[in-house]
Amino acid sequence: MARGTRRDSTSGPSQRVLRVGELIRHALAEMLTRGDVHDPALEGHMITVPEVRMTADLKLATVYVMPLGGRDTKEVVAALERNKRFLRGEIARRVNLKFAPEIRFRADERFDEAERIEKLLRTPEVQRDLGPRKDDDGHE
């Protein structure tokens, strides 16, 4: 791709955007594991950071988090939001970027969605439709 040309928006994020998101994810996961964020709402919680999505200009990082067991999710996200200034400064120190991105935290709802789909697939209606088909003579 020639320099200065725009990528097709349907091709997804660039390698650089994905790499920066992964670097930020690792830095945040390490900080949370080590207990660098001192907030009562975070104490006693193991927090996973399954994904960080970056905007194409690398100015905004959306961090998806999930407390282990899925309990107190709203409180954990609120605590991380309260501490995002500290976290942004630490990311700037740990990840070599020209500018530290703004950070926003979101609960990772993929687990809930996967569970909902799993339940739906187990319903009798879906099981009936997924069962072996019989031809006109009654044979499978």
Per-residue pLDDT of 52-98, as tens digits, reads: 999 999 999 999 999 887 788 899 999 999 999 999 999 999 998 88
Helix crossing, 84-94 with 73-82: angle to 10°?
A: 70
* pLDDT tens by residue, 111-140: 666 777 788 788 888 788 777 765 555 555
Least Cα distance to 77 among 102, 48, 53 occurs for 48
Nearest to 12 by CA among 53, 64, 50, 65: 53
Q: How much is the pLDDT for 86?
A: 95
Q: What is the rounded CA–CA span in Å between residue 55 and residue 47?
A: 23
Q: How sure is the predictor about 99, in pLDDT bands with cuts at 50, 70 and 90?
A: confident
Provide the whole-model pTM: 0.72
Residues 6+ apart with CB under 8 A from 78: 41
All domains of the chain, ordered by start, with CATH?
A: 13-130 (3.30.300.20)
